[in-house]
Amino acid sequence: MISWGGISCCLSGAALYLLGRSSGRDAELLKTVTRVNQLEELAHLLDGGSKVLPSIVSVSGRVGSETPISCEYSGLRGVIVEETTERHFLKHNDAGSWIQDSALMLSMSKEVPWYLDDGTGCVFVVGARGATGFALTVGSEVFEESGRSLVHGTLDYLQGLKMLGVKRIGRLLPTGTSLTVVGEAVKDDIGTVRIQRPHKGPFYVSPKTIDELLENLGKWARWYKYASFGLTIFGAFLIAKRVIRCILQRKRRWELRRRVLAAAAVQRSEQDNEGTNGQAENGSDSTQRDRVMPDLCVICLEQEYNAVFFPCGHLCCCLICSSRLTNCPLCRRRIDQVVRTFRH
């Protein structure tokens, strides 16, 4: 009786609703963030020890560093550099075909202290890797074909492998990139201002402006809301359809049971009066019993049975259900011919 499809749709709708609420809360939090137009203003406010200024601020500027890193593959300079090396090969599977696969050979990551600079001041950013919206730019992607010898190639082939080559990928956060950072503004004992992840609140590092972040969060919140309503309504429809079908089936079973019990009662009454009734009266009672006895198709339980199976001779199904059968549902013998019967 359980409609698992309907329940799955309702649960998915609930999950999307929670995601929409989360996106909506994030958007509301971003609206309360203090926007700092110039970084020197942030330094002055922190120097003044203002109690009005919230700790969560939004700042923008270009990425800079005193000791930038050069990407080995591309030669670009950045403050965060990730270099990975992947080996690509063809693998022989059990079906006898070759499928492409890859394996990580080397992964290296470097980061130096970096800051945002807008020309009026600078502020250091700490822990940007764990921030929402943070992404590195692909600086280079080089594929070197395999130059393995014939012996090594033969050994690889015997192991079910064909080496294609090595791909080297360099990702980095280049210097000069415009970023918007939302986080907690603090100032240490030596006077360095930095933005870090707050204990409670939003933490964003993104190339989008604060207005674009708000618009994006609002759009996703609305999409999650509409999708949640749609899935919930569809799930409720599936559940209601299943319940109605079960109710109708149960109603048909009860009706069939009532008719069977009524027919059994008539049969017992006839057996009690069998010695006193004449043959003509028995014929009349037989006609009445035929009208009371259930004559429904054993497959659909809706139509009257009107098809005889040959060679077994059973009469238990309607013509529509008989057209879908290959074996008799009573004796399981193969059906060679179906003949329609008529009543007078």
- CA angle (336, 341, 344) in 5-degree steps: 170
Rounded Cα distance between 343 and 333, Å, is: 26
Confidence of residue 281 (pLDDT cuts 50, 70, 90): low
Check whether 279 has a pLDDT greater than 60: no
Question: Cβ–Cβ contacts within 10 Å for residue 124, how many?
Answer: 15
The residue-averaged pLDDT of 288-295 equals 52
Rounded Cα distance between 115 and 37, Å, is: 16
DSSP 3-state of 82: strand
Rounded Cα distance between 286 and 268, Å, is: 13
List the domain boundaries for the chain: 60-179, 295-344
Tell me the CB-side half-sphere exposure of residue 218, using CA atoms within 13 A. 9
Confidence of residue 94 (pLDDT cuts 50, 70, 90): confident
CATH class of the region 295-344: alpha beta
Long-range CB pairs of 250-258 (<8 Å, 24+ gap) are 252/301, 252/302, 253/301, 256/294, 256/296, 256/301
Check whether 293 has a pLDDT greater than 80: no
Confidence of residue 177 (pLDDT cuts 50, 70, 90): very high
For residue 161, the Cα-to-chain-centroid distance in whole angstroms is 34
Check whether 276 has a pLDDT greater than 70: no
Q: Is the Cα dihedral 218, 224, 230, 233 positive or negative?
A: negative
Closest CA to 135 of 33, 59, 204: 204
Are the beta carbons of 205 and 143 closer than 8 angstroms? no
Confidence of residue 48 (pLDDT cuts 50, 70, 90): low
Percentage with pLDDT > 90 across the chain: 28
Region of 313 please: left (phi>0), alpha (psi -120 to 50) or beta: left
Q: Tell me which amino acid residue 323 is.
A: S
Check whether 174 has a pLDDT greater than 80: yes
